[in-house]
Chains A and B, each alone.
Chain A
Amino acid sequence: MIARLRGRHRRSDLPSMLTGLDEALAALEGRADPAELAAAQAVTARAGERLRLSGEHTVVALAGATGSGKSSLFNALVGGEVSPVGVRRPTTSRAHACVWGAENAAPLVQWLGVPRKQTTWPHGGTDEHRHVGQQDLDGLVLLDLPDHDSTAADHRLEVDRLVRMVDLLVWVVDPQKYADAALHERYLRPLSGHDAVTVVVLNQVDTLSPDAVNQCVADLRRLIDDDGLRRAVLLTTSARTGAGLDGLVAVLAEAVRGRRARNDRLVADVEAAAAVLSDGVGANTRDEVGAAERAQLVEALAGAAGVSVIGSAVEQSWNLQAAGRMGWPPTRWLRRMRPDPLRRLHLRPSDRGEVRSMVRSSVPEPTPVQQAQVQTAVRRVSGSVADDLPRPWRDAVRRAAGGSSADLRDALDASVVGADLGADRRPAWWRLGGLLQWLLVVAALVGASWLLLLAFGAYLRLPDPPTPDVGGIAVPTLLLVGGVVLGWLLSAVGRAMARTGARLRRRRAESRLRDSIGAVAQRLVIGPVEAELARHATAVRGLDRARTG
């Protein structure tokens, strides 16, 4: 019976897979089951260590239940009583190693944690020791493991440790215990992706009739297939009679020659770790927040920051100032008595002083409704991108969106205080209008004085001085009436123009405020959410790469 190890169909790019898994692990920190993460981290660490050690050696472990004949098989392969064989169970309590071809193998054996006195080096300089049954085994590190199912719990720990490290696993079973739950449920099923590096050996076939052996092999094959190890090699041996040993040696020799077991094992490890993690990651759905949610958030934040309050304050303030500059001078002071609404909000540039960041505005606190609207908008942002993600990521996105809600109010206030509301600018035509107003006042005063002088002259019966007239109306009258009427008209026109300007200022101020609120939203809500999404995408990409190479 010549069995062959069936290697993987394609050569997987192990370094690339490892890089992928490493990237995914970095992204998954805190967003996956800690035990799964730790297991995957152990895989990459182990893979790194194994890749730095000799690739010319293939580590093969004989594992199995107590009494299945691992040590007998080991001794038969080594060709000497190296591992003690006995009738008391459990027999082997520490792993034994045998190394064919000693060059560069010492660090590997040390990494495996097998003490020197438990290690045999059949390489005696002569070629005959390197051969077992005509096969060249140079490069083989064969381990005899303790049992995994006896009452000695430390044996199981040692097996668990080494089963994770070796390149090729040979499970030795016997006709009595080939169907034990301890073997199939605890080891074979979890290693179902490892069938390229798994060999199952039914030992002690000398105790069965040939017919029984066939039945037994068929049943064992069925169990192994059920465990998900369809491509695993199944052999029969008898350490006592030597039957079937050639087949086992051939499989080992091929594994040593091919030098693929190390790679195949690590690939299977990485794939299994990535498959476990993938369940908790899901697919990549969206990587940015939609425009509608963004707009809604800015709208809600603008409400909470009091943009419309500030906007109307800007408008009123502008109107007040325009009236102060261009209003009819005799009544201007009345306007000045009115408080500036911007000043009341502590948003006048002159109030801000030098240390802007220390200043708080007096914009009213957001109402419960506005707060509720902000909360809902923030939830909608995270919900829109995260509702399809698995739970840990959904929570992470929600945390990212809502995490800085305490900072949000301060940041909004700072952005309101810091925004250029455009309320300081004084258009040139205000000055012109103000000048005109004064000219008109002067004209009216001149007209009035002139008329007074004329009236005084008439009172004193002085002869009427010639008074110039325009179109039959005396110039002083024209000056007085025109000055007053034009002044009033000018202030009315100025008010109307200022109102248009004020509305424009309001729009500009509000859009500036919205811009800076948009920046706050981006910095404190949308940015963190998108960073989390980018992190998720990295994890998905990394795991994809870890599975496909």
Chain B
Amino acid sequence: MRAKATNGPLVRQDCTVTTGPDVQPLLAALERLGAHVVDVRLPLQTGDADAARIMRRAIHDQLEDYVLPRLRRIEAPLLAVVGGPTGAGKSTLVNSLVGTRISAAGVIRPTTRSAVLAHHPTDAPWFEDRRILPGLERSSRSDTDPSTLKLVSSEAIPAGLAILDAPDIDSVVTANRELATQLLAAADMWLFVTTAARYADAVPWEFLRTAVTRGTAVAVVLNRVPPEALVDVRAHLATMLSEQGLGSAPLFVVPETTTHDGLLAPDEVTSVQKWLRTLAADAPSRAAVVKHTLDGAISSLAVRVFELAASADAQSDASERLRRDVESAYDQALRRVDDASGDGSLLRGEVLARWQEFVGTGEFMRSLESKVGRLRDRVGAAVRGKPQPGKDLAVALETGVEALVRAAADDAAERVGSSWHADTAGAALLGEDDLGHSSSELAGATTRAVREWQGFVLDLVRQQGEGKRATARYLAFGVNGMGLMAMIVVFAHTGGLVAGELAVAGGASALSQKILEAVLGDQAVRTLATTAKSDLHRRVAELLESERRRFLDRLEAQPVAPDAGAGLRALVQDVEDAR
């Protein structure tokens, strides 16, 4: 039985000529694009990130494996890649075309796991260096390592044309599918092999549709056709091909026969062989095929780079959005603490009660007396087992600020946590960690910060009182008493204390202010209050900053370039201009 073929023109001859005499500008533009595409960072898990990463790789591979080498040496031999589903008999076909077993064939699927390239001996220099497919190690023996390319030199292959046996596109072995995709992207022409049992499979058709959209030249070999099904299946496949826009693709039919020593009978592949020889011998039509595919590849690259640019934009948008979530939540937290410590409301409740105790128990009055009085007081406190009310007041201030900072930080963390979690990129950054509440170090850090602030206020009072050391009043109050009063003044400084029961708090701060002004002078008190207040603000901001960092560090560990998308688009424009 003779193989039958439909031989139309492989490609239309009217495609744009990509490669005039001066390809250098285009080549340079594409090289810049290739270098830039690798650098596009897609670290965030936005909705299309996985697809975009695969696309970035595919664009880079196609540029390096095919477009750039082809542009540099437009006269290099035409590379026909034999691709197709597992078990279609790709290797058997290649072996039969060469006439010897150069690629392993067998019943175990998938059979071919690494690429085998057959070429005419005179074409060897074209393939021995890393001109095309630079990522694949050249080797001379059969290997199952998918990162090698076995080169076979054979007189049976016409000069000016090389045949590459690719692994299958649809087996369970993922590495095979990836390698096949990469090899098909590097082809000047696809020799697509399918069988009578498989020709309607969904996966190969997806590949063929890609070939159509990218303008790759395709020839189809229908292998393993039982003689009785030949007419029917061939007609059906031809219909399907023209429905998909591949009506002009040459279609060869190889019947199902027994193999001899792993090879089909020479007769069965004559038509394919003859067609290949004709193509190899006919330099203009070979060049047309090359140019057609190259043109299609560059056009499709442009389209895909635009998609990649959109993904890069989505990345920087997502990064910006996540950052804004963090900033606004923690800014609000800082405002909340500021408001509460500025409007005097911190003085209500516990602080007010302690103030009254401080004044009421006579500690205040007694602290005006001599050191003996204080000593007596302390002894008394030790005997009674009660802490000094003055210390209580300091503790009450401390717990008040601490509770405020903590609740504000918790609120902010919860808000950021839930808004990040609702975003795919944010959820990926969070992972399994629960950052929905303030960090465990916050409580300790807040206590420390408030203590340090109190120390700072005491120092301020001490400095302000430097010249007034001698005054009896200053000595009478002591630095601690003055410091406490200063803190009260700070918290009520802008104080619009309105509610009736707050009169006492207002009174407390008014009294404190009077005493302080009497001792230090009113300008000094104002300065003191402002300085102490801005220092408290700074410390709280620092505390919240370290809380905010927990989120921002995660975000900044995955930096995105905000202008990556624009850069890609500009480079594509350069390529288009150079064409």
Contact = CB atoms under 8 A, between A and B. Distances in A.
A35 interface: no
Interface string A175-201: 111111110110000000000000000
A299 to B, nearest CB: 12
Nearest to A219: B108
Interface string A239-265: 000000000000000000000000000
A205 B137 CA distance: 38
Contacts of B87: 175-179
B326 to A, nearest CB: 19
A531 interface: no
Contacts of B399: 369
Nearest to B229: A87
Interface stretch (A76-84, A145-153, A316-324): A145-153
A32 B116 CA distance: 50
B346 A369 contact: yes
B329 to A, nearest CB: 15
Contact of A149 (B173, B201, B499): B201
Contact of B177 (A150, A152, A181, A372): A181
Given A215-B108, A308-B353, A376-B403, A90 B434 contact: no
Contacts of A175: 87, 107, 109
B92 to A, nearest CB: 12
Contacts of B171: 179-181
B88 interface: yes
B232 A88 contact: yes
Contacts of A371: 407
A179 B110 contact: yes
B85 A369 contact: no
Given A87-B229, A179-B110, A303-B349, A67 B407 contact: no
Interface string A53-73: 000000000000111100000
A379 B109 contact: no
A178 B350 CA distance: 77
Contacts of A365: 499
Nearest to A204: B197
B197 A66 contact: yes
A219 B109 CA distance: 8
A234 to B, nearest CB: 15
Given A176-B87, A179-B109, A185 B172 contact: yes
A48 B422 CA distance: 36
A369 B410 contact: no
Interface in B346-363: 346, 348-351, 353
B201 A151 contact: yes
Nearest to B230: A87
A41 interface: no
A223 B171 CA distance: 11
A122 to B, nearest CB: 28
A342 to B, nearest CB: 14
Contacts of A366: 349
B406 interface: yes
A548 interface: no
B202 A150 contact: yes
Nearest to A372: B407
Nearest to A395: B418
Contacts of A88: 232-233, 236
Interface in A340-370: 364-370
Contact of B197 (A67, A182, A308): A67
B301 to A, nearest CB: 27
Contacts of B414: 398
Contacts of A369: 340, 345-346, 348-351, 399-400, 403-404
Contacts of A398: 414, 436
Contact of B349 (A177, A182, A185, A370): A370
A208 B172 contact: no
Interface residues of B, number: 59
A391 B420 CA distance: 13
A112 interface: no
Interface string B330-344: 000000100110000
A369 B351 CA distance: 10
For this complex, into which size category does the number of interface residues on chain A fall? 35 or more
Nearest to A365: B499
A33 to B, nearest CB: 13
B422 to A, nearest CB: 11
A174 interface: yes
B63 interface: no
- Interface core residue of B172, B345, B436 (most chain A CB under 10 Å): B172
A478 interface: no
Nearest to B199: A89
A19 B199 CA distance: 47
B170 A182 contact: yes
Nearest to B110: A179
B404 A372 contact: yes
B197 A176 contact: yes
Given A182-B203, A387-B434, A89 B197 contact: yes
B411 interface: yes
A517 to B, nearest CB: 16
A394 interface: yes
A181 B172 contact: yes
A368 B346 CA distance: 7
Contacts of B353: 308
B424 to A, nearest CB: 14
B577 interface: no
Interface in B496-530: 499, 501
B172 A177 contact: no
A184 B199 contact: no
A8 B349 CA distance: 69
Contact of B201 (A65, A372, A375): A65
B107 A150 contact: no
Contact of B345 (A156, A219, A308, A368): A368
A84 to B, nearest CB: 13
B408 interface: yes
A284 interface: no
Nearest to B346: A369
A280 interface: no
Nearest to B111: A179
Contacts of A163: none
Contact of A376 (B195, B228, B407): B407
Contacts of B172: 179-181, 184-185, 223
Contacts of A497: none
Nearest to B201: A149
Contacts of A391: 421, 434
B559 interface: no
A308 B418 CA distance: 37
A67 B196 contact: yes
B189 to A, nearest CB: 23
A149 B404 CA distance: 62
A-B pairs, 10 with minimum CB distance: A67-B197, A87-B229, A372-B407, A176-B87, A179-B109, A89-B200, A368-B340, A212-B107, A150-B200, A372-B403
21 contacts: A66-B200, A68-B197, A87-B226, A87-B228, A87-B233, A150-B201, A151-B205, A156-B202, A175-B87, A176-B86, A176-B87, A178-B109, A180-B172, A182-B202, A212-B106, A215-B106, A369-B350, A373-B407, A379-B410, A379-B437, A391-B434
Interface of B: 85-88, 106-110, 170-173, 177, 195-203, 205, 224, 226, 228-229, 232-233, 236, 240, 336, 339-340, 345-346, 348-351, 353, 399-400, 403-404, 406-408, 410-411, 414, 418, 421, 434, 436-437, 499, 501
Interface of A: 65-68, 86-90, 149-153, 156, 174-182, 184-185, 208, 212, 215-216, 219, 223, 303, 308, 364-373, 375-376, 379, 383, 387, 391, 394-395, 398
Given A89-B201, A175-B107, A369-B404, 20 more contacts: A87-B228, A87-B232, A88-B236, A90-B200, A151-B200, A153-B202, A175-B87, A176-B224, A179-B109, A180-B85, A181-B177, A215-B106, A215-B107, A216-B108, A367-B340, A367-B346, A368-B346, A372-B408, A383-B437, A398-B414
